[in-house]
Each structure stands twice: as structure tokens, then as C-alpha cells.
Amino acid sequence: MNTTAERSGWARFWDHGRWWKALILAVGYLAIYEPASLLMAPFLPFIGNADSTSYVLVLIVIPVLIGGLVLVGFGATVRWLRSTFERQPTRGRGWMWIAIVVVLLFNLLRFASIDYSAAGVDWVATWLLAGLVIGFSEELLTRGYVVRIMRSSGNSEVAVGLVSAALFALLHGSNLFTGQALGPTLLQMVYTFFFGFCMYLALRVTRTIVAPILLHASTDPSIFMQGTHPVTGGLTSLAQLGNIAVVLVGVVLLIVFLISERRTRHHDQTVLSHSVRVS
């Protein structure tokens, strides 16, 4: 392993984590993704409507892929890639599995209520590809690099989880500057905050970033495909409650998380104080 002295100034800058460095990284990602998306705009007349395969490929997959490749390049320059995908040192708690179960349950319900015959194989395959690219890029940034930056400066897991979720919501708040109305953008930010928090819990309880990547990769395609080509029936109505369920469950889990972390800190301080008195 390289010592601090052997690392470049660039790497040492990022090694000494601060919340504002996490913010810089998130804004930097947006500064790459948004222009990449805008560069695809001239192709709009040639790629069809929003439910076409070419639309998904050109306006979603390619811009996010560019951003993801830049994130991989960044991780390579600071030598974070291997450790980001290694087993995480911070343990989770059993109740955190609830976040995974709820997200996965509604993803499966949405996948089960899509009219695949109307959607077409090419369109479905392209959306699944988009999900993988989105899940990898956004989780590498927020549950990978942001979590690492926050932990490296000794922040509590409360700060780690909340900043990770908040910056994830910020990424989606940028839709306001691309023409999305204020109301839907605010609602989207609320949902993405709690979804991001659930992904943090998934990282904690599984101790691998692969879990939130795969959960995220199955979420976006299920939402957009089911929203575009739903089958009729009660299953569809139930599946469409997924975003509300994630927010409501996320609120409850956040409260449990805050109480749990507070008790853990109090216990650790008590043990430390006792050890000092004994010694």
C-alpha cells in the first residue's frame, strides 16, 4: 500500500475529506453530464419520441456513460477504485435490510406490470442498459466516493448517510435547469433523498457497493418502462405506489437510524470513559 508521502498532491487533497469536497465532486459530475446531455440535443429530430430506443440510448445512456467513465478515471487517479469495490469496514444492522426489501419489492411489482409486447424487446433492452449505466455511475459517485470522502475526515455515520442522500437529491434537482417545473422537481428531490438514504443503508448492511448499484440499476428502468407501457389492472396500481412507499419507509428508517446511531455513540463514549478510569 502506498504511504501518504508517496501519493500525489492531487490524491492527498481528496484523501483528506471534507463535506465541501464531496459537493465539489457532485457538482463536477453534473458539469460533465449536463453538457454531454445538451450535446445530444441536435440529434432530437432524428431519434424519435421519448419512448423510442434511440431516444433512450442517445439522451440517457450516452451522457450518463460519459459521466461514469470520467468518475472511473477520477477514481483511478486517486487510487480509490479497488477499495471502493472491496468489502466495506462499517457494519450495518439487521433492520437496514428493510430498505432493500421495500425497494426490491416495488421494482419487481413494476417489472411484473409492464406491457412487454407493446414496449418491444429493443426498447426494454436499452432501458436495462440505461439502468446499469445509471446505477453504476450515480452509486459510484454518491455511495462510493462521497461516502469515502465523508468517512476519511472522521464524520459520524449520520453525517455520511445524510450527505450522501442529500447530494444524490441535488443531482436530480438539476432537472430544474433543464426545463422541468419547480413542483415536480421538488417532489423528485424528496423521493431521491429517501431513495438515496435507502441505498446508503443497503451499502451498510451488505458492506458492498454492488448492492446499491444493482438495486439502483433495477429501479430506474422499472419506473420508466412501467410508466410508459403499463398493463391494466390492480397490480399496476399497487406498483405505482412504489415512490410513496420508499419515502414513507425512508422517513421511518431515518428516524430509527438517528436513534440507533445516537445510542451507539453514547455506548462508545461510556465504554471509552470507563476504560480511561480503569487505566
Q: In the chain, how long is the greatest CA-to-CA distance?
A: 75
Distance CA 98, CA 202 (A): 9
Inter-CA distances, 201 with 10, 81, 98, 103, 239, Å? 30, 21, 9, 11, 22
The answer on pLDDT for 132 being more than 50 is: yes
Helix/strand/coil for 8: coil
For the chain, percent of residues with pLDDT exceeding 90: 76
Alpha helices (H) in the chain, listed in sequence order: 9-15, 19-39, 44-47, 53-56, 62-78, 81-85, 97-112, 116-119, 121-139, 147-152, 157-173, 182-206, 210-228, 234-239, 242-278
Residue among 144, 139, 14 nearest 81 (CA): 144
Residues in the chain: 279
Q: For 234-251, write each residue's pLDDT tens digit.
A: 999 999 999 999 999 999
Residue type (1 letter), 260: S
The answer on pLDDT for 65 being more than 60 is: yes
Q: For 37-54, write each residue's pLDDT tens digit.
A: 777 767 767 777 778 899
Tell me what the mean pLDDT of segment 58-72 comes to.
94
Helix/strand/coil for 17: coil
Joined grid coordinates for residue 140: 459510484
Model pLDDT, residue 179:
82
Q: Is the pTM higher than 0.75?
A: yes
Joined grid coordinates for residue 48: 424519435
Q: For 166-206, write each residue's pLDDT tens digit.
A: 999 999 998 888 788 999 999 999 999 999 999 999 999 99
